[in-house]
A and B are shown apart, each in its own frame.
Chain A
Amino acid sequence: MELLYTMKIHELHDKLVAKEISAKELTESVFSRIDEVEGRVGSYLTLTREGAFEQAAMVDKKIAAGKKIGPLAGIPTAIKDVMCTEGTRTTCASKILENYVPIYTSTAVQNLLDEGIVMTGKTNMDEFAMGSSTENSRFFPTRNPWDLERVPGGSSGGSAAAVAADEAIFSLGSDTGGSIRQPAALCGIVGMKPTYGLVSRYGLVAFASSLDQIGPFTKDVRDCAIVLNYLVGHDSLDSTSVKIDKPDYTKALSDDLKGVRIGVPKELMVEGIDPKVRETVENALAVFAKNGAIVAETSLPNIDYALSAYYIIAPAEASSNLARFDGVRYGYRAPDAEDIMDMYMRTRAEGFGDEVKRRIMLGTYALSAGYYEAYYGQAQKVRTLIIRDFNKAFEEFDVLVSPTSPTVAFKIGERIDNPLQMYLSDICTIPVNLAGIPAISVPCGTVDGLPVGLHIMGKALGEEMLLRVAYSFEQNFGWNEKPAL
């Protein structure tokens, strides 16, 4: 029999309903896999084994009582350690929150718990979601299951590696500039950033509030649609939460692309993209055309300025959001302070890592007197230009595609001393966050044995079209390689 931990949500749900397996057996299978590979991969900061078996027992009781269970019931799930979980420590991979135990649960996680998921644990990440490699974790780096000498991407590297290494059936991440899609690409799995406001941010520790969005990592596109069905929903606790009539996203999974117009922004296929990655993506485009889609080149003329605007806007918002970590109400406090200012200064100096400090200082600078207009004001105007570019392209096209990451997974340590080079990892994903639109990364092959992600971008609230295009690609491309661990 196929090992349970390798299977997908929709396959496992059928087995649970048919009573071929129990949630307990499934949970045992996933934890046996964790015990086997976690020492090498390092996906998790905290394992919640005990709670997981309690949750599994509740699902088994429900099944035994003949009650109906939803598609996520009993499914082992990993949560990025940036989402608050009541009673389970939530660290953001930072020393400043090392011992923080939330007194409430984030809405996104609660929605899944209400559906009966089995939470396996909290996953590693770049500190406060700032980074593209998970090397900025204050605890340890996570390794890419495809090559343990390489990074899994970031910032949600632990959540991506957990699914790629079969240490969870699916997971949640957060995406501010590519932090779901880039690690999904580098780990050879599916990752989606939904439209801004579609998934509640309540209980998500804020990095850049106008850009942050929670989304799923899954083993295939059908699983992505299933999870989205339970993540999406209006939440009165998040004032940016959108109100829509929620569709059944699994209904969008159609193989047919007849008449679908797919645009390829030329700016995202040239400079800085590894030629082998580009070639892999070009081959993927042929699959769309074969399935009835119209594929043509388009342009996002101001996209070259997106990275620059992002590295003003995101740090500016971060510098404000992270002001709350002052050692007073929760988190780390530097010992033996002379007075309160000494306590603030040392708590933050000792509690934050270098990348977080860089971004706080960058944002403080961009917002400070004399520089505000030139940096922050100008960046917000550039954001308007980028939104207009997307709107114009979407007049002609239903979706836009590009590589997710300009390169395959890079070596641990390779970019850590060069912040700007690290930032360039997100050159294709960042424009999407600035525009608030949804995007998905699906595997589209390998280069030198390492996965490449295809990035599909859609109109605001266009998740159904994204899923349709991604599903059709997946069905026809037929890629199902797994890392040899």
Chain B
Amino acid sequence: MAISEKDVKHVAWLARLAITDAEVQKFAQQLDVILEHAGKIAELDTENIPPTSHAIPLRNVLREDTLGACLTPEAALSNAPKKEDQAFVVPRIV
């Protein structure tokens, strides 16, 4: 097994996904098959191979720190599920 049901529960917690016991079982089986296939990459000798994060080489993109157009509070809040004055409202945090 590449991934256990315990791992699936832990990963779902890390990813902030509520998950039922039936789903834990289903996803564990499916992810195991996928990870077994993906695990094939371990066969390759990559000791002296550098990793690639982007296929096209990237450099930092810099610009002058000048004032530009920005969103109004109304626009920024226009899709908020819940809002009050100029703020997003969320349930109790502590």
Contacts and interface: CB of A to CB of B under 8 A. Distances in A.
Given A331-B81, A378-B46, A210 B55 contact: yes
A348 B41 contact: no
A195 B56 contact: yes
A340 B91 CA distance: 5
B56 A309 contact: no
A103 B75 CA distance: 7
- The number of chain A residues touching the other chain, given as a range, is 35 or more
Interface string B15-46: 11111000000010011011101111111101
A366 B50 CA distance: 19
Contact of A357 (B17, B35, B39, B92): B17
Contacts of B80: 328-330
Interface in B39-92: 39-44, 46, 49-56, 58, 61, 63, 71, 75-76, 78-82, 88, 90-92
Contacts of A195: 56
Contacts of A339: 91-93
Interface string A375-399: 1011111111101000000000000
B49 A349 contact: no
Interface stretch (A48-56, A116-124, A234-242, A266-274): A234-242
A308 B39 contact: yes
A339 to B, nearest CB: 5
Contact of B16 (A345, A366, A383, A460): A345
A101 B78 contact: yes
A384 B91 contact: no
Nearest to B93: A340
B15 A384 contact: no
A305 interface: yes
Contacts of B40: 304-305, 308
Nearest to B81: A333
Contact of B90 (A328, A349, A374, A419): A328
Contacts of B33: 419-420
B63 A236 contact: yes
B78 A385 contact: no
B56 to A, nearest CB: 5
B79 A331 contact: yes
A309 B93 CA distance: 38
A366 B76 CA distance: 34
A341 B91 CA distance: 9
B15 A364 contact: yes
A471 interface: no
B69 to A, nearest CB: 11
SS class, residues of chain B in contact with chain A:
loop
B46 A381 contact: yes
Interface centre among B38, B51, B54 (most CB of A within 10 A): B38
B31 A308 contact: no
B14 interface: yes
A358 B16 contact: no
Contacts of A415: none
Which of B43, B63, B82, B92 has the most CB atoms of chain A within a 10 A radius of its CB? B92
A278 B92 CA distance: 59
A343 B91 contact: yes
A361 B31 contact: yes
A288 interface: no
Interface in A213-263: 236, 239-240, 242
A182 interface: no
Contacts of A366: 38
B79 to A, nearest CB: 3
Contacts of B79: 99-101, 103, 329-331
A337 interface: yes
A357 B90 CA distance: 23
B82 to A, nearest CB: 7
Interface in A191-227: 195-197, 210
Interface in A323-361: 323, 326-333, 337-346, 348-349, 352, 357-358, 360-361
Contacts of A106: none
B31 A358 contact: yes
Contacts of A360: 15, 17
B71 to A, nearest CB: 7
Give 6 closest A-B pairs by Cβ, nearest first.
A436-B55, A380-B51, A330-B79, A333-B81, A349-B18, A381-B46
26 contacts: A101-B79, A103-B75, A103-B79, A197-B56, A239-B58, A240-B56, A308-B37, A308-B39, A308-B40, A330-B79, A333-B81, A340-B93, A343-B91, A357-B17, A360-B17, A361-B17, A366-B38, A379-B38, A381-B44, A384-B49, A384-B52, A385-B44, A385-B49, A420-B33, A420-B34, A437-B55
Given A239-B61, A378-B42, A381-B52, 15 more contacts: A195-B56, A236-B61, A305-B41, A305-B44, A307-B37, A345-B18, A349-B18, A361-B27, A364-B15, A381-B46, A383-B51, A384-B52, A385-B49, A387-B52, A419-B34
Interface of A: 99-101, 103, 195-197, 210, 236, 239-240, 242, 302, 304-305, 307-309, 311-312, 319, 323, 326-333, 337-346, 348-349, 352, 357-358, 360-362, 364-366, 368, 374-375, 377-385, 387, 419-420, 423, 434-437, 460
